[in-house]
Structure 1
Amino acid sequence: MQQPLDARVVEGRPDHVDLETDVLILGAGACGLVAALKAAAAGAETIVLERDPVPAGSTAMSSGFIPAPGTRFQEAIGVTDDTPARFLDDIQEKAKRRSQPVIADLATRTIAPALEWLADEAGLEWIVLDDFLYPGHTRHRMHAVPEKTGEALMGRLQQAVEAAGIPVVTDAFCDTLYRDAPGHIDAVALLRPDGSREIIRAKAVVLACNGYGGNPDLVARHIPEMADGLYYGHEGNTGSALLWGEEMQAQTAHLTAYQGHGSLAHPHGILISWALMMEGGIQVNLAGQRFSNEHGGYSEQAVNVLAQPDGVAWNVYDQRLHDFAMSFPDYQQAFQAGAVRVAQDVSSLAATLQVPEAALSETLAEVERLSKAETKEDATDRFGRSFAGHKGFSTPFHAVKVTGALFHTQGGLLVDDTARVLQADGEPFTNLLAGGGAACGVSGPEVSGYLSGNGLLTAVSLGFVAGTTAARLAGAS
C-alpha cells in the first residue's frame, strides 16, 4: 500500500487501546527479528510490526555479512587472536577515532555473544569468510549464513521467529507514538491497508525501522552530496525513528554518515562484490584512467565514482578474479544478466568499454609495472594503493559497468549501553529503545568511516541488547 511519511508524537494516552503486549518491535529486519527472539526467549510477550507485506528491508538487500570477533566459528578456521578490543580499534581507525564510543564499545562486545546465541538458541548456522580481508579489517571476522546472501539471512531469522511462535504483523504502518510522560511511550498507532487504525499499548517499544535513506528531504538536508545519487536501499526507510526522536527532542548524532557503495552494476542494479577490487581489480572511468585508491573502501568509493563523467566507472579484472567472484550469488546473478563483459585483448576491451584505447593501454601497463616493482615504495601508485604482490592481469579481461549509490544511513538516535534512547538531558527514555539504522551507528560522521559490515553489526548487536533490555523493562526477566 502507498504509505505517508508521517511520524507523529501525540502527548497523552489514546482514548482506546485495541491490544496490549509486553514488547512491541517496529520493523522486521535483522534488528527487529533478533530483538524479538531475545525478548521472547526471556519470557516477554512480543509482537513485531512490519510495514511491508513481506519482511525483507535493508537486510535482504545486503550481502548478509556480519563482522564479529572472538567467536568459536573463527576458531574453527584457525583465527584465535581476534578480540573485541582489536575490532573496536579497526572501527575507530576507519572512522578517524570519531565513532560514538559507547555504541562502538557495546557493539563490539556483544556481537560475538549474539551470533553464538543465535546459533545455539535459534538454530542459525554461521560460516566465516576467509578468502580475503575486507577493507579496514585486520582479521577474518566476517560471518554469514552458508548461502552468503542477506536474503538467506532474513529467511533463517524468519524461520526462527516463526518457530518461536512470535507474531509478525505485516502491512502494519506505524505512524504515531503516544507519549504519556516526557520519557515514556504508552502506545503505538498503526495504519492498515484498508485505512483502518489500530492502537497497541506496550511496556517497552523497540525502534528497529532503519534509517532515512528513502526520505529524499532528509537525505538532501543531511547528506546533500547524495541527493541526486541512486538510492539502493529499501524504500520503506523513510526516517520515522529519526522524525519521532526529533519531535521528542531525543539526542541524535552523525546524521551526515552513511554507507555508500562504488560498485553497483549499471543499469542492472546488482551489487558487485568489492572482493574483486581487494583481490586485484581496478576501476577506470570513461577516459580509460584510474581515479582513486580502490583499496580505500567501497563506501567512500561511491562518491569517487559519482564524480566521474556520467557518474559511472568500469570494474576491470581478469579470468582468475572472475572465477573467484563466481562463488558469490550476487555476481552469478550479474553474470547471468549480462552485466559482465569479456574481452580477449586490450584493443577489444577498449572497444567494449568504449574508452580510448591508448589511455586504457597505459593504465594497464602502469598496473603491470607497479605489480613487478621490487620495493613496496615503488609498488605504490599516486593514489596510495600498493600493488605489491599483485599477480598482474592475464587475458581474457572481464569488466562490469558500475555506478555509486547510497545504501543506508548511519546516523540516528543516540542510545545508552542498554540500547535505550537518550533524551535531551542525557537521561534515557524509560521504555523506548532503538537499534540498527534507527540508532546512531559506529561509522563516525562521514561516508569514509564505514567499515565493511557496520550496518548489520549494529542491527544484530543492538537488536540483541534491545531485546534483552525490553524484556527486563516489561518485567519478564
Structure 2
Amino acid sequence: MTDVDVAVAGGGAAGLMTALRASLDEDLVVAVFEKSTREGCNAAISSGSLAAGGTRFQRDAGIEDSPQQHADDILAASGDEEWRPVVQALCEVAPDIVEWIADTGYPMEIGTDMPRAGMSVPRLHTDTGRLGGARLVRHLRGLLDAQPNVAFVDESPVVGLLGSAAGISGLVVEQNGAREQVTAAATVVATDGFAADPFLMAQHLPHLGAPFHGGTSTNTGDAIVWLTGLGAQLRNMGSALRSGLVVVGHGTRVSPALQFNGAVLLDTDGLRFVDEEAHGYSSMAGILQQQPGERAAMVWDATAMAATVASEMMRDSLAAGAIEQLPTTAALAARLEISAEVLDQSLLPRAGRRRLAAPYHLAWVTHGVLTTQGGVVVDPAGRVLGADGNPIPRLYAAGGTACGLAGPSSDGYSSGNGLLSAFGMGWIVGNALAGVPTSHPTHQRSTS
C-alpha cells in the first residue's frame, strides 16, 4: 500500500494541471497514475489551442474581451444555463492559465487567424509555429518532472476507487499485472471520456451512427462505472465533441478556419447545402451525417490555403496526400463528376463573401467523434456531487470524466471547450489543494 496526499487518476491535460498546481505546496506528496503515455491523451492529439477571454495577448492585439463575454458566448452556443456557474468559474481562470503557461517558457500567441463560429472575438491562444497539442503536453510534463514532490507513474491504469459515497480514501492501480492500493487525503479522477468504448457509445450516443473515431484508444470511460457506483450524477451523456472536417479515407482533418476564408461544401451532386460560416466543426458533423454517403466535398482556393496552411491539421492532411489540387474550374468539375454550369452556380459567393478562384483545393470530408462531453456532475470547485446533490468527500473530477461545456447536444460545442474544461478544472482543484488563490496574484488582468 502507498500513501500520498493527492492521488490523480489520469495524466492528460486535467491531471497534469492538477498536479502542477497542487505541487505548489511543497509539503504535499502528489502521485499521478497514467494508463499509457504511449497511447497518448486527447490533449496531445488536439490543436493545443486554449480559449481565454481577457488575456494580455488579446490586449496587445487590440482585442477587447473578458471572462464574462467568453462565458456568455459558450452558453449562447450550448443553451445550458444550468451549467453557468461551472462555465463562469472556468472562464474566470482561463486568462491566468494562458499567461502562466506562457510565463513558464511556452511560446504563446493569440490566433487572430483562427476564426470560429460562435466566438465573438478571437480568443484561441496557440503556440507559435502551430505544432499542436503534443508540444504543449510535452512542455507540461517537463515542468512536472522538475517537481520533487510529484511522482508521474506511467503504464499504471487506475482500476477503481477506495471508499464509498461517504468518502473516498484513494485509488486502486494496476502495475505489472498486480493491483495496489494508493491511499490519499484527496483523490482527483481526471481520466478521459468514453468515445473508444463501443458499449457506452451505443448506450448514450446511438444517434451518432458509426462515425470515425479521432480520439485515443484509452478513452474507455472507466471512471463512469466507478463513479456511478458511488451514486454520482451523470449529465449530458448524449453530447460529444464531433468534427465535420475528417478527410475520408485518411482520418486527418482540415482546418476549421477554412470556411471563414471562403471554402464551400458541396454534396455528391455538386450542390451547396449549408451556410459554412454558420456552424462550428462539431455541429457540422451532424449536417454531414445527413448527407448522401455521409460526406461532402470541401473546396477552397490558394487564398484560403495560405491563411490556414500553418495549422498542424493542414500540414498533416497535406503530408497524408489527403488534399487534391485542381488547376481549373473545368478540372474541378470533372473531378466532382458534375457539369461546369452546376459548379459555377455552387461556387457563387454568399452576400459579403468573396468568390473562389482557380487553382482549387479539394478534400472529401465526413463526420467523426473526437471525445465525449457527458460526464459526472461537479460543482464549480470540481467536487463530485452524489445522489443527494452534496459533494462526495475528498473526491474531485476533471477533464473527460466531468460533464463538459457543450450542453445536451454536440451542436453546442464551442472551439476550445475541451482544453478550457480540462485545464480550468485542474487549475481550480490543484490550487485549492495547495491552498493558493484561484487567480494567481501575478496573473491578475482587467476584465473590462
- Aligned with residue 413 of structure 2, among 440, 447, 450: 450
Distance 1:402 1:90 in 2: 27
Q: Which residue of 2 aligns with 1:14?
A: none
5+ residue gaps, structure 1: 1-16, 371-378, 380-387
Q: Which residue of 1 aligns with 2:181?
A: 199
**Pair 1:27-2:29 in alignment:** no
- Aligned with residue 159 of structure 1, among 111, 131, 142: 142
CA contact (8 A) 1:66 1:143 kept: yes
- Aligned with residue 327 of structure 2, among 344, 358, 366: 344
- Bigger CA drift: 274-283 or 221-230? 221-230
Q: Which residue of 2 aligns with 1:434?
A: 397
Q: Give the 5 Å matches for 1:253-264.
A: 253-264=235-246
Distance 2:317 2:201 in 1: 28
Q: Which residue of 1 aligns with 2:247?
A: 265
Q: CA deviation at 1:398?
A: 0.8
Flag the 1:38–1:394 CA change in 2: closer, same or farther, 3 A.
same
Q: CA deviation at 1:55?
A: 6.9
CA contact (8 A) 2:39 2:217 kept: no
Give the percent of matched residue pairs that are identical in Structure 1 and Structure 2: 31
CA contact (8 A) 1:206 1:470 kept: no
- TM-score if structure 2 supplies the norm length? 0.92
Q: Give the 5 Å matches for 1:68-467.
A: 68-79=52-63, 81-98=64-81, 100-120=83-103, 122-148=104-130, 149-165=132-148, 166-179=150-163, 181-192=164-175, 194-295=176-277, 296-355=279-338, 357-364=340-347, 366-367=348-349, 370=350, 379=351, 388=352, 390-467=353-430
Distance 1:36 1:429 in 2: 20
Distance 1:227 1:248 in 2: 31
Q: 1:187 is matched by which residue type in structure 2?
A: G
- Bigger CA drift: 303-312 or 252-261? 303-312
Q: 1:51 is matched by which residue type in structure 2?
A: K
Q: CA deviation at 1:229?
A: 1.3
Q: 2:120 is matched by which residue type in structure 1?
A: T
SS in 2 for 1:443: coil
CA contact (8 A) 2:47 2:312 kept: no
- TM-score if structure 1 supplies the norm length? 0.87
Q: CA deviation at 1:448?
A: 1.1
Q: 1:239 is matched by which residue type in structure 2?
A: G
Q: 1:83 is matched by which residue type in structure 2?
A: S
CA contact (8 A) 2:246 2:366 kept: yes
Distance 2:180 2:334 in 1: 60
CA contact (8 A) 1:287 1:356 kept: no
Flag the 1:471–1:392 CA change in 2: closer, same or farther, 3 A.
same
CA contact (8 A) 1:28 1:56 kept: no
Q: Which residue of 1 aligns with 2:446?
A: none
Q: 1:234 is matched by which residue type in structure 2?
A: T
Distance 1:27 1:136 in 2: 31
CA contact (8 A) 1:232 1:406 kept: yes
SS in 2 for 1:177: strand
Alignment RMSD: 1.8
Distance 1:203 1:155 in 2: 28
SS in 2 for 1:236: coil
Distance 1:429 1:346 in 2: 62
Q: Which residue of 2 aligns with 1:60?
A: 44
| 1:31-56 CA distance string (max 9 Å, x none) | 11111100001232111111014373
Q: Which residue of 1 aligns with 2:31?
A: 47
SS in 1 for 2:357: coil
Q: Which residue of 2 aligns with 1:10?
A: none
CA contact (8 A) 2:129 2:310 kept: no
Distance 2:168 2:317 in 1: 46
SS in 1 for 2:276: coil
Number of corresponding residues: 432
Distance 1:99 1:279 in 2: 35
Distance 1:264 1:453 in 2: 18
Q: CA deviation at 1:358?
A: 4.3
Q: CA deviation at 1:329?
A: 2.3
SS in 1 for 2:44: helix
SS in 1 for 2:275: coil
Distance 1:437 1:254 in 2: 12
Flag the 1:335–1:303 CA change in 2: closer, same or farther, 3 A.
same
Distance 1:288 1:99 in 2: 42
Q: 1:311 is matched by which residue type in structure 2?
A: E
Q: 2:355 is matched by which residue type in structure 1?
A: G
CA contact (8 A) 2:302 2:360 kept: yes
Distance 2:426 2:339 in 1: 50
SS in 2 for 1:212: coil
- Bigger CA drift: 442-451 or 235-244? 235-244
| 1:302-342 CA distance string (max 9 Å, x none) | 11112222222111011111122211122122112211111
Q: 1:184 is matched by which residue type in structure 2?
A: G
Q: CA deviation at 1:225?
A: 1.7
CA contact (8 A) 1:216 1:227 kept: no
SS in 1 for 2:207: helix
Flag the 1:244–1:445 CA change in 2: closer, same or farther, 3 A.
same
Distance 1:53 1:133 in 2: 31
Q: CA deviation at 1:227?
A: 3.9
